[in-house]
Structure 1
């Protein structure tokens, strides 16, 4: 079923980062459900057979390879820029190169190739980690000086994309997803189930701070809408489902693996952060993230709902059921 009335049917669409989680699902749905002629770029092309099976043409291209990216842009009508540095390898220099410089290069090459619309995948992390306000709407200034490298460079990359859009005359729009979960999600699904299953601490304090998830297909719905709606030009949109508490969030994963999520007080979590750094425990925990766990922040998608008709078609209960089925099929759960 088309979410955008087949507005991209027969059109040439490029998805950068199509070998990753978000880009892969987006490319798959563009080809399978929307009838678009989809090219996807990435590095590990063998990792996504489901994307190829959907009819996507995959091209090996590094974000910073100007000639490969220029070639991929030729003849495209819409570009979804999803590829990014996610914090797993390299430091600040690599983050800036991939999230800022490569984004600017992609916009320039898209404009040069005559692409009509460029959809930038940003993040709610661009507001600050944690944000300076709790009710974070799209007119909240992005935090380009925050401590967290990922959020800082995503903010800089988005700002630069919009600047170049105006300068070069290409339509630019952006989505700012929350915690993206679902089948194939590494950070907020696979890693979460592993932590809960191993009995690692995942809830800090009373657990009543807010998580702001978005199921992968709800996010893809929003991305498709930003690609075709005229109202989206020059605009950025929060893409989140209704908030839940971290008690509720980790409760879903606890039910899946039959374990009660482990809770520790905040003072103990601060000690754990130090041990994590000294002993290289590789836990997804640092001081900014710990502060986030204690906040009741919200990133309402009201603007996307009003301007684009965005709705969270999949509830968190349904999304977690779909996710659990995939985790069992893939052997992450018995």
Structure 2
């Protein structure tokens, strides 16, 4: 039986590499990794080198014979922004680059285009009892979220006018073995026994393990009900920041040292230091509703939150020993 080719952009990234590895295990799908410049894709997957994600990039070699594109490549959060106009730079990559790829995919006869977007399209916060859903009004606030929202809108216009199916997936914070950035920092703090003033934080955050996200993406490659739909991605089990740190402590074998500082004091200190954005991420709630996934796709997260945290902690500890 011929295997249908799935092009994965950003294949050397956290999500893209995990997706390629899982696709390589399937009999009916053949992943092709698209990477930038001298970057390397997963060893198990044929790789094609393309330029930066931009309007001028030529994707013809990468798209030849492709059935479905899973577009994970993007300009993501930049810790030390150097662009004079950050929104313009996000738009150049995430909007113009994405739309150029999608148009070339149409010309190449690609059947389905799966766009990995972000919960930031919905906004930065959810209110108690009202998790964000895929069909809620969009309220992006930062440059990254605005660019993802605009890319989604451009893709929907393309789906109406061209012969291609579009699927949008908006993940919350993605974690898993090899995760970097803030999640990795949290594990370092807990593993080192650093006292953290977060024991009284009782917010609610949705997370998604990379394995659950990959499973949802693979479901959307073929499912007929995924056509021209938007889905949120989470583990389906929300947790407070203090609960998350304690769960990580158990997984790391090092109980988290949490001090019960009232959140109002933390909020005030963050405001004085000009770190309102950090306070929002630590203290605010951001829950999503994935009921639509079950209703249309029959999809539920195959891995629990605790399983995901255990796998992440195990990988962290192994890397610490090497």
Q: TM-score band (shorter)?
A: 0.7 to 0.9
Alpha-carbon displacement from aligned partner over 1:105-154 (angstroms, at most 9, x marks no partner)? 1211111111000000011111011257832111101124x2x2222221
The answer as to whether partners of 2:126 and 2:287 remain within 8 angstroms in 1 is: no
**Which deviates more, 63-72 or 166-175?**
63-72
Q: Select 1:66's aligned residue among 50, 56, 60.
A: 56
How far apart are the structure 1 equivalents of 2:76 and 2:9?
A: 14
Query: Which residue of structure 1 lines up, in the alignment, with residue 45 of structure 2?
Result: 55
Alpha-carbon displacement from aligned partner over 1:294-325 (angstroms, at most 9, x marks no partner)? 44442111101111121111111111111111
**Which deviates more, 194-203 or 37-46?**
194-203
TM-score (norm 2): 0.86
How far apart are the structure 2 equivalents of 1:42 and 1:201?
A: 39
Which residues in structure 2 correspond to 1:22-37 (within 5 Å)?
22-37=15-30
Query: Which residue of structure 2 lines up, in the alignment, with residue 155 of structure 1?
Result: 149
Alpha-carbon displacement from aligned partner over 1:50-90 (angstroms, at most 9, x marks no partner)? x11x2332424311163432331222110001011111254
Query: Which residue of structure 2 lines up, in the alignment, with residue 249 of structure 1?
Result: 244
Q: CA deviation at 1:24?
A: 0.8
TM-score (norm 1): 0.83
Assess, with a 3 A threshold, how the Cα gap between structure 1 residues 225 and 78 changes in structure 2: closer, same or farther: same
How far apart are the structure 1 equivalents of 2:195 and 2:121?
A: 28
Which residues in structure 2 correspond to 1:209-224 (within 5 Å)?
209-224=203-218
Residue 297 of structure 2 corresponds to residue 308 of structure 1: yes
Query: Which residue of structure 2 lines up, in the alignment, with residue 95 of structure 1?
Result: 90
The answer as to whether partners of 1:120 and 1:172 remain within 8 angstroms in 2 is: yes
Assess, with a 3 A threshold, how the Cα gap between structure 1 residues 263 and 161 changes in structure 2: closer, same or farther: farther
Residue 176 of structure 2 corresponds to residue 182 of structure 1: yes
How far apart are the structure 2 equivalents of 1:107 and 1:40?
A: 16
**Which deviates more, 39-48 or 27-36?**
39-48
Query: Which residue of structure 2 lines up, in the alignment, with residue 130 of structure 1?
Result: 125
Aligned length: 311
How far apart are the structure 2 equivalents of 1:71 and 1:298?
A: 40
How far apart are the structure 1 equivalents of 2:195 and 2:48?
A: 38
The answer as to whether partners of 1:210 and 1:297 remain within 8 angstroms in 2 is: yes
Residue 185 of structure 2 corresponds to residue 191 of structure 1: yes
The answer as to whether partners of 1:28 and 1:56 remain within 8 angstroms in 2 is: no
How far apart are the structure 1 equivalents of 2:118 and 2:284?
A: 18
Q: CA RMSD in A?
A: 2.6
Residue 269 of structure 2 corresponds to residue 271 of structure 1: yes
How far apart are the structure 2 equivalents of 1:78 and 1:162?
A: 16
Assess, with a 3 A threshold, how the Cα gap between structure 1 residues 181 and 108 changes in structure 2: closer, same or farther: same
How far apart are the structure 2 equivalents of 1:317 and 1:32?
A: 25
Residue 7 of structure 2 corresponds to residue 14 of structure 1: yes
Query: Which residue of structure 2 lines up, in the alignment, with residue 299 of structure 1?
Result: 288
**Which deviates more, 159-168 or 265-274?**
265-274
Q: CA deviation at 1:43?
A: 2.6
After TM superposition, the runs of 4+ consecutive aligned structure 1 residues lying more than 6 A away are: none
Q: CA deviation at 1:190?
A: 1.8
